[in-house]
């Protein structure tokens, strides 16, 4: 049987359904944000952990020039190393049917038994290449799908200077390329970069690496620490042109995955906190009003002998009912959005299986958090209801006391009319409520601003980087360091307007106790295609002597202009030298050191050596150029700037739309929740007053203005506050996005501010209209019969 109090509870809930719905919706958004992000987080983490374990993702990696297979015995003997995999890895230029530009392919050797070893492949489709077949390859699934390749498709590749036709026989996934991105790129461009796995002997034959390897992956015992192992590997590989070994933390794909996880982790904390905070406030307001209107009933119940505990429980149950509704909706919504988010991740991160999982732990945690916010919301009002002595509760609430505020002494405010005064005094009478309303609305504005920050920043980053720093149309990397003649021949290709050589040397930089693997670029002092920039994005000249570091690299080393850094060449002659830092370049993308090309070649004693060229292209002849490049031997890869930019845009636009829609919806719910509830409560508290005004001859619109003026004013105040809070939050997020791979600048576009303002105003206006309709239903006669 339903008790009388429960029936009263249901009646209250029904009577206040609009406000209950608004508060429940805000709760739902908070819970949904929590469930979405946390379950996406856990799904991604789970997929990663399973994949890495089942497919034996390596713990450390190293690239080298060439070492005999026999070195394996010594490598395997390093304490802590449990398994090694000696591979051949080469980047080549590909001619993909249907793709105008040349693509870059990374060829990786397969062990004799492709389902053994480290970084095992998951064969999605087709078969393994037959042993000894030099023309068969397994392609990474994402690359194949993006370019419409399937088992049976053929693509052209330049293997060590010879054009060969390769047949795709299977599609596969590797734990090493969960995030399959070309070196130095932010976003995957699956059309123009892909991994191909081929028979080991075939690759060894093509690249003159019979009985040798040039890439090492190894697994370590769980308990052993990585530092000494990496040191031992480096010592063994040094004579064979080994570049420094590194752990998973520096492995590109793994690093992107980790960054993404930590980013969701950050969003998963503050977004739900904002929503649940506002929902607690809304429930608090609802309960406070309920206790005020039910004073008489509370007194009666007490007179009948209901205990304080029972009465307190009654109001606590009201709060519980609201959050329960919200939580159920939020968990359902969170499961839906979470599945959607995981679906988006499937586009970026390639796992054999990436299943969305709604774990009981996440649901339980969500429910607990919601419960907590309900109890916080209920605690003060319930205490007030319980404390009310019965005799006092019988009397109507004492008349509302107003006073002239100090603000009214302000000269400009003296002339305002009585209606405006009503609005201002009502705000002044409950400064806390007004403040919390402003915070609630401001939170919505801030949510909108923060939601768009990453997009604004990437936009700015792209503009800053590709207009000021990397200004070339294409980068051509030679397979081996060549002479000036190689650049000369590139310059003569059709459509090339300008070709500037560059030298790229893998190095390790040391300063004090810090060290960092990076790349040292030698660029001509007269060059215009790659420029260094200062903080204001003004170009700075390449000094003839000394080294310029990107700001991030200088920070990572703890060095500043004037510091002398030690440089160790990791390839070739492995020279060690010291250079003073003569400048810092504020590039948002990647890390590198720069030296004047001529000076660098003097230091390295390899006068005239070039690693590749930056090209400026005549767009009219680009097709001819691409065709020529695809057939040019000695080219390891070509990066086309326009294509890369287009990829970034496409990726951004896709996630941008979804993010904007979701954020707009969530923020609107916040605004509606706050404005609608506050206005409804004002209507309930001041209904008599407003009806009296109608009696006096105020039109509906005038009464609505008086009622909603308060909310309108608070909204108008909240918008700049929210824009400010949003900006500060974005500033706080800057370190989160300050990564080695890219650094998001602190920028917010005028469009972001405008959107946040407009969405907030629109949502507030809709809430206002919803409440204004109720002014028509004010009972003008009833108000005259009741004593306020």
Partner 1 sequence: MPRARLARRMSRKQPSIARLNTSTQTTLATRPSAILAGRNVSKVYRLGDVEVHALRGVSLELGAGEFVVLLGASGSGKSTLLNILGGLDVPTSGEVRYRDHVLTTATDRELTRYRREHVGFVFQFFNLLPSLTALENVELVTEIAANPLPAADVLGRVGLADRLRHFPAQLSGGEQQRVAIARALAKRPDILLCDEPTGSLDYPTGKVVLEVLERANRDLGTLTVVITHNAAIAAMADRVIRISSGEIVDVQHHATRARPEDLSW
- Closest-CA residue to 767 (of 695, 682, 692): 682
64/422 with CB nearer partner 1: 422
- Binding part of the chain for partner 1, among 71-79, 518-526, 615-623, 698-706 by CB under 8 A, reads 698-706
- State which of positions 670-689 bind partner 1 (CB under 8 A): 688-689
- Closest-CA residue to 524 (of 503, 553, 538): 503
Query: Do 74 and 84 meet the contact criterion of CB atoms below 8 Å apart?
Result: no
Structure token digits, residue 547: 């080294």
CA-CA distances (angstroms) from residue 590 to 160, 549, 651?
29, 11, 19
86/289 with CB nearer partner 1: 289
463/713 with CB nearer partner 1: 713
83/685 with CB nearer partner 1: 685
- State which of positions 232-251 bind partner 1 (CB under 8 A): none
- Binding part of the chain for partner 1, among 175-183, 631-639, 695-703, 714-722 by CB under 8 A, reads 695-703
Among 162, 415, 777, 787, binds partner 1 (CB under 8 A): 787
- Binding part of the chain for partner 1, among 400-408, 513-521, 542-550, 729-737 by CB under 8 A, reads 400-408
Query: Do 630 and 104 meet the contact criterion of CB atoms below 8 Å apart?
Result: no
HEC-encoded secondary structure of 295-345: HHHHHHHHHHCCCHHHHHHHHHHHHHHHHHHHHHHHHHHHHHHHHHHHHHH
Tokens 């809070």 correspond to 725
- Closest-CA residue to 22 (of 316, 322, 317): 322
- Binding part of the chain for partner 1, among 182-190, 284-292, 394-402, 665-673 by CB under 8 A, reads 394-402
For 489, residues 6+ apart whose C-beta sits below 8 A from its C-beta are: none
Q: How many of the chain's residues bind partner 1 (CB under 8 A)? A: 34
What is the signed CA dihedral for 45, 47, 49, 52, rounded to 10 degrees? -140
Query: Do 610 and 484 meet the contact criterion of CB atoms below 8 Å apart?
Result: yes
220/426 with CB nearer partner 1: 426
User: Can you count the helices (H) and strands (E) in the chain?
Assistant: 22, 22
Query: Do 533 and 539 meet the contact criterion of CB atoms below 8 Å apart?
Result: yes
The CB density around residue 297, as the number of other CB atoms within 10 Å, is 15
Q: Got the DSSP string for 633-652?
A: TTEEEEEEHHHHHHHHHHHH
167/421 with CB nearer partner 1: 421
Site string for partner 1, 755-784 (x = CB under 8 A): -------------------------xx-xx
Site string for partner 1, 532-551 (x = CB under 8 A): --------------------
Among 403, 406, 414, 513, binds partner 1 (CB under 8 A): 403
Q: How far is the CB of 700 from partner 1 (least distance, A)?
A: 8
For 785, residues 6+ apart whose C-beta sits below 8 A from its C-beta are: none
Rounded to a whole number of angstroms, the distance between the first and last alpha carbons of the chain is 37
Among 225, 697, 750, 777, binds partner 1 (CB under 8 A): 697
Q: How far is the CB of 357 from partner 1 (least distance, A)?
A: 55
Ranges assigned E (strand) in 410-495: 474-482
The CB density around residue 599, as the number of other CB atoms within 10 Å, is 18
- Binding part of the chain for partner 1, among 461-469, 492-500, 661-669, 692-700 by CB under 8 A, reads 692-700
Structure token digits, residue 166: 């390769």
Q: How far is the CB of 432 from partner 1 (least distance, A)?
A: 17
Q: How far is the CB of 702 from partner 1 (least distance, A)?
A: 7
Among 66, 154, 400, 631, binds partner 1 (CB under 8 A): 400
**Residue 694 within binding range of partner 1, rule CB under 8 A:** yes
d(CA 140, CA 352): 12
Structure token digits, residue 310: 């029972």
295/700 with CB nearer partner 1: 700
Among 152, 211, 305, 399, binds partner 1 (CB under 8 A): 399
Ranges assigned E (strand) in 512-634: 514-523, 532-533, 539-540, 547-550, 564-569, 576-585, 593-596, 610-617
750/781 with CB nearer partner 1: 781
Q: How far is the CB of 264 from partner 1 (least distance, A)?
A: 48
**Residue 402 within binding range of partner 1, rule CB under 8 A:** yes
Q: How far is the CB of 704 from partner 1 (least distance, A)?
A: 13
399/562 with CB nearer partner 1: 399
124/429 with CB nearer partner 1: 429
Tokens 């201002």 correspond to 424
- State which of positions 702-731 bind partner 1 (CB under 8 A): 702
Site string for partner 1, 407-446 (x = CB under 8 A): ----------xxx-xx--xx--x-----------------
- State which of positions 52-81 bind partner 1 (CB under 8 A): none
401/406 with CB nearer partner 1: 401
Structure token digits, residue 72: 């394996």
d(CA 456, CA 453): 5
402/407 with CB nearer partner 1: 402
Q: How far is the CB of 457 from partner 1 (least distance, A)?
A: 46
**Residue 696 within binding range of partner 1, rule CB under 8 A:** yes
305/418 with CB nearer partner 1: 418
162/415 with CB nearer partner 1: 415
105/687 with CB nearer partner 1: 687
245/682 with CB nearer partner 1: 682
Q: Three-class SS of residue 240?
A: helix
- Binding part of the chain for partner 1, among 401-409, 524-532, 610-618, 754-762 by CB under 8 A, reads 401-409
Q: How far is the CB of 778 from partner 1 (least distance, A)?
A: 11
What are φ and ψ of residue 717, in 5° steps?
A: -70, -40
What are φ and ψ of residue 87, in 5° steps?
A: -125, 175
- Closest-CA residue to 229 (of 62, 68, 73, 70): 62
Residues composing the chain = 788
d(CA 772, CA 464): 49
What stretch of H or E contains 506? strand 496-511
Q: How far is the CB of 711 from partner 1 (least distance, A)?
A: 16
For 644, residues 6+ apart whose C-beta sits below 8 A from its C-beta are: 185, 189, 192
- State which of positions 255-284 bind partner 1 (CB under 8 A): none
448/783 with CB nearer partner 1: 783
**Residue 752 within binding range of partner 1, rule CB under 8 A:** no
Q: How far is the CB of 335 from partner 1 (least distance, A)?
A: 47
- Binding part of the chain for partner 1, among 25-33, 402-410, 448-456, 619-627 by CB under 8 A, reads 402-410
**Residue 3 within binding range of partner 1, rule CB under 8 A:** no
d(CA 560, CA 684): 64
Structure token digits, residue 342: 């995981």
Binding site for partner 1 (CB under 8 A): 399-404, 417-419, 421-422, 425-426, 429, 688-689, 692-700, 702, 780-781, 783-788
């Amino acid at each position: 049987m339903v008790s009388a109090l429960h029936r009263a509870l249901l009646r209250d809930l029904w009577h206040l359904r609009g406000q209950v719905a608004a508060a429940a919706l805000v709760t739902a958004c908070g819970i949904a944000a929590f469930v979405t992000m946390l379950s996406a987080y856990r799904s991604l983490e789970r997929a990663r952990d399973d994949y890495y374990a089942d497919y034996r993702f390596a713990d450390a990696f190293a690239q080298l020039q060439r070492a005999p297979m026999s070195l394996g015995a010594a490598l395997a003997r390093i304490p802590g190393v449990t398994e090694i995999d000696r591979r051949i890895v080469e980047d080549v230029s590909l001619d993909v049917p249907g793709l105008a530009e040349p693509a870059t392919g990374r060829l990786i050797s397969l062990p004799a038994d492709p389902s053994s070893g480290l970084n095992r492949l998951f064969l999605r489709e087709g078969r393994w290449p037959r042993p000894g077949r030099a023309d068969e390859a397994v392609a990474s699934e994402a690359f194949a799908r993006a370019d419409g390749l399937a088992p049976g498709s053929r693509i052209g590749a330049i293997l060590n200077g010879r054009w060969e036709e390769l047949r795709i026989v299977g599609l596969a996934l590797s734990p090493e390329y969960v995030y399959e991105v070309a070196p130095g790129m932010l976003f995957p461009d699956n059309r123009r970069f892909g991994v191909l796995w081929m028979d080991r002997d075939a690759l060894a034959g093509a690249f003159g690496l019979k009985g040798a390897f040039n890439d090492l992956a190894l697994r370590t015992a769980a308990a052993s620490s990585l530092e000494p192992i990496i040191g031992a590997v480096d010592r063994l590989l040094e004579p064979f042109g080994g570049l420094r070994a590194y752990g998973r933390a520096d492995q590109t794909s793994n690093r992107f995955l980790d960054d993404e996880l930590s980013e969701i982790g950050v969003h998963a904390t503050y977004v739900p906190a904002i929503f649940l905070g506002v929902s607690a406030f809304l429930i608090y307001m609802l309960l406070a009003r309920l206790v005020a209107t039910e004073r008489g009933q509370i007194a009666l119940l007490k007179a009948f002998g209901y205990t304080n505990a029972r009465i307190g429980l009654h109001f606590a149950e009201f709060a519980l009912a609201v959050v329960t509704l919200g939580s159920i909706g939020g968990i359902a919504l969170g499961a839906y959005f979470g599945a959607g988010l995981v679906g988006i991740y499937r586009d970026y991160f390639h796992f054999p299986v990436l299943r969305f999982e709604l774990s009981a732990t996440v649901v339980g945690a969500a429910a607990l958090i919601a419960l907590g916010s309900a109890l916080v919301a209920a605690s003060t009002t319930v205490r007030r209801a319980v404390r009310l002595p019965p005799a006092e509760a019988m009397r109507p609430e004492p008349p509302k006391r107003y006073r002239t505020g100090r603000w009214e002494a302000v000269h400009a405010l003296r002339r305002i009319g009585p209606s405006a005064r009503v609005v201002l005094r009502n705000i002044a009478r409950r400064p806390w409520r007004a403040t919390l309303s402003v915070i609630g609305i401001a939170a919505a504005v801030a949510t909108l601003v923060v939601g768009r920050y990453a997009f604004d920043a990437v936009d700015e980053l792209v503009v800053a980087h590709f207009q000021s720093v990397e200004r070339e149309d294409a980068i051509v990397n030679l397979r081996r360091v060549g002479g000036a003649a190689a650049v000369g021949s590139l310059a003569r290709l059709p459509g090339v307007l300008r070709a500037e050589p560059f030298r790229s040397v893998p190095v390790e930089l040391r300063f004090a106790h810090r060290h960092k693997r990076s790349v040292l670029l030698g660029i001509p002092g007269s060059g215009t295609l790659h420029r260094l920039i200062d903080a204001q994005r003004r170009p700075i000249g390449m000094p003839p002597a000394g080294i310029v570091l990107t700001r991030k690299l200088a920070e990572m080393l703890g060095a500043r202009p004037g510091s002398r850094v030690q440089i160790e060449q990791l390839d070739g002659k492995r020279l060690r030298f010291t250079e003073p830092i003569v400048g810092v370049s504020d590039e948002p993308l990647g890390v590198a050191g720069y030296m004047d090309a001529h000076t660098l070649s003097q230091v390295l004693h390899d006068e005239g050596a070039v690693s590749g060229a930056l090209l400026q292209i005549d767009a009219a002849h680009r097709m001819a150029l691409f065709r020529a490049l695809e057939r040019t031997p000695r080219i390891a890869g070509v990066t086309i700037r326009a294509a890369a930019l287009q990829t970034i845009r496409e990726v951004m636009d896709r996630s941008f739309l979804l993010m904007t829609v979701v954020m707009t919806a969530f923020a609107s719910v916040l605004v509606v929740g706050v404005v609608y509830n506050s206005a409804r409560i004002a209507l309930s508290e001041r209904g008599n007053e407003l009806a009296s005004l109608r009696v006096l001859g105020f039109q509906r619109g005038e009464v609505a203005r008086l009622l909603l003026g308060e909310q309108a004013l608070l909204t108008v105040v909240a918008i700049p506050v929210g824009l400010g809070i949003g900006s500060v939050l974005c500033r706080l997020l800057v370190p989160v996005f300050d990564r080695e791979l890219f650094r998001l600048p602190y920028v917010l576009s005028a469009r972001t501010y405008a959107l946040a303002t407009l969405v907030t105003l629109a949502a507030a206006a809709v809430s206002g209209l919803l409440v204004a309709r109720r002014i028509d239903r004010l009972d003008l006669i009833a108000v005259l019969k009741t004593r306020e």
